[in-house]
Amino acid sequence: MASLVLLVVFLVRLALHPLIIEPATAAHLTCVRMLCTEGLTLSVNFFDRIWPPLLVLLYPLGWLARFTSLSTIAALNCFVAILITGAVYFCLKQARHLPSSLSFDTAALKLLPLVVIAFANLTFNNMSAAGQLFPIFLAPFLAYLPRLGRRSFGVPAFYLMLASSLEPCLTLYLLLIVAATYPFFVFAHRKKAIFLLFGTVVAYPALSFLLCFALDTASIGRYLDTVAYIDWLDFKNFNDYLYWMEKSPDLRSAIYAIIVMLSLAMAFTIRHGRLNRLLIYSSLLGFAYFIASQILTTPFLLPMFFFAFLGFTACLRQRRLLALAVLPLVFLGSLAYVAAQEYNSLFRIKNDLSIFAEFFKDLKCERVMILSWYPRPGFPLIEQLKLKPALCTYVYPFMAFHHGTDSEQARLRLLELENAFYNGINSALNSKKPPTLLLIEDGDIRQRLEDTGVMKSVYEKYVQMASLSPNSQDELDKHPCFEYPGYRNTFSAFMLTKE
């Protein structure tokens, strides 16, 4: 019942905030929209760091944008809401088959639907972030574990397929979790089911790569050169601007809480609770995922938090004295948090649009170009306002360009991509339909554009009309708060003077 109440709350919130979305996901939506509506080719005349499995999944939304006026964000959120509802329903249904005696494992599975929907509510501001969706998509798989090898295999397999599409890192994470079910749940009649589930996780990404290759034989090569290679360089190197104070969100309190929850959960389940140990294991892998992100923002912490929270609350639930408190605490705590967030959002900020929204709306430009290191502040705003960015969602390879690489061969390879970007920017500025508005991040990006001569084209055709700051109190008061790694540089806004 508590789960259903929270589910209704979640769906109502989504109806009230149809445009709420996490920036990186919004950038991917913009990418598919541009590919479908403008007939562009990924990594040739439009760049984004989406990978093929996710591209295949989101592509229908791009077509939806082409033939309807429906917002891709609203459509995605609607789809995600259906998926979350489906996941919760499946977990509730599986929970009915559980024995009434409360072991650690059954406690975890009985709490699972409530924790999933509470989690979705608590992470609402990061709606549709990969880190938010990943544990939710794993929930049916967890619920299915006691009945491995039996019917209703299709539902957890489907959700695992979705989980494997989000990001390459999360696919590896998922493989490690599914592989670990073998030692945890190794009974003869379940081995086949585990192998099949493992196969699902591998099969979907493989098939999507094959599909992309079949449609365009050069697409995989381009993905490897322009996205996978940059992902690898970003992981290998480190943005040294993040050495300094306050250059990434301070999530230490959350990490302390998670570590304490994990430690106590381990203490409770050392003797019993295979599933709980699997949850703790998954949370520990989540810590590695969080660290590997390098920018260490909240969406990357969510999987670690989810598994730790579920494992810990299950341990409390299993103890007789605490059992009565856990459910009401989770339920009421979630409601209180939601109420506080909604009050802030509906009555104070009154705006789901991201920062600089007023500036963009006032100018009424459709074609824009925002050149920034990270998705913010261009996203999710560009997708919320259905603007058309030229050439790229954001300059995602810039950290690699800026910090360089060690070997000569790698340096030349990077230089080729860098030239493609700057030539692409120049071409876009000098095309028949150049972007009407340019937003260029001051600091290293602008300096690089000066050095490569791109700014010459800008000065010839555009006039600087404003300087926008992500630190402006006015912006911070009117829009939802956000996380932002690195320096919060100002953005110079340039308007096209002649078509």
| DSSP letters spanning 88-141 | HHHHHHHHTTS-SS--HHHHHHHHHHHHHHHHHHHTGGGTT-HHHHHHHHHHHH
Q: Beta-carbon neighbour count of residue 392 at 10 Å? A: 26
- Asked whether position 407 contacts another protein by CB under 8 A, the answer is no
**Dist. CA 285–CA 301, nearest whole Å:** 11
Residue 353 identity = L
Stretch that binds another protein, among 71-79, 118-126, 237-245, 430-438 (CB under 8 A): 237-245
**Dist. CA 365–CA 363, nearest whole Å:** 6
- Asked whether position 251 contacts another protein by CB under 8 A, the answer is yes
Query: Which ranges in 188-273 belong to alpha helices (H)?
Result: 188-215, 219-223, 229-236, 252-269
User: Of 378 and 486, which has the nearer Cβ to another protein?
Assistant: 486
Stretch that binds another protein, among 247-255, 349-357, 426-434, 460-468 (CB under 8 A): 247-255
- Evaluate whether 289 touches 138 at the Cβ level (below 8 Å): no
CB of 260 to another protein, least distance (A): 7
CB of 459 to another protein, least distance (A): 35
CB of 304 to another protein, least distance (A): 10
CB of 243 to another protein, least distance (A): 5
- Asked whether position 187 contacts another protein by CB under 8 A, the answer is no
- Evaluate whether 167 touches 194 at the Cβ level (below 8 Å): no
- Asked whether position 340 contacts another protein by CB under 8 A, the answer is no
- Asked whether position 263 contacts another protein by CB under 8 A, the answer is yes
- Asked whether position 471 contacts another protein by CB under 8 A, the answer is no
- Asked whether position 247 contacts another protein by CB under 8 A, the answer is yes
Stretch that binds another protein, among 65-73, 96-104, 230-238, 337-345 (CB under 8 A): 230-238
- Asked whether position 261 contacts another protein by CB under 8 A, the answer is no
CA distances to 111, 121, 306, 425 from 158, in Å: 22, 23, 20, 40
Name residues contacting another protein, limited to 288-307 (CB under 8 A). 288, 290-296
Of these, 45, 85, 152, 237, which contacts another protein (CB under 8 A)? 237
- Asked whether position 118 contacts another protein by CB under 8 A, the answer is no
CB of 292 to another protein, least distance (A): 8
User: Of 228 and 284, which has the nearer Cβ to another protein?
Assistant: 284
CA distances to 94, 162, 238, 353 from 130, in Å: 25, 10, 22, 20
Of these, 53, 156, 435, 485, which contacts another protein (CB under 8 A)? 485
Size of the site for another protein (CB under 8 A): 46
CB neighbour burial string for 239-256, b if at least 16 within 10 angstroms, e if fewer:
bebeeeeebbbebeebbe
Helix axes 454-461, 444-451, angle to 10 degrees: 90
- Residues near 158 by Cβ (< 8 Å), separated by ≥ 6? none
- Evaluate whether 377 touches 470 at the Cβ level (below 8 Å): yes
- Asked whether position 175 contacts another protein by CB under 8 A, the answer is no
Q: Which residue ranges make up the site for another protein (CB under 8 A)?
A: 176, 180, 183-184, 236-239, 242-252, 255-256, 259-260, 262-264, 266-268, 270-271, 277, 280-281, 284-285, 287-288, 290-296, 485
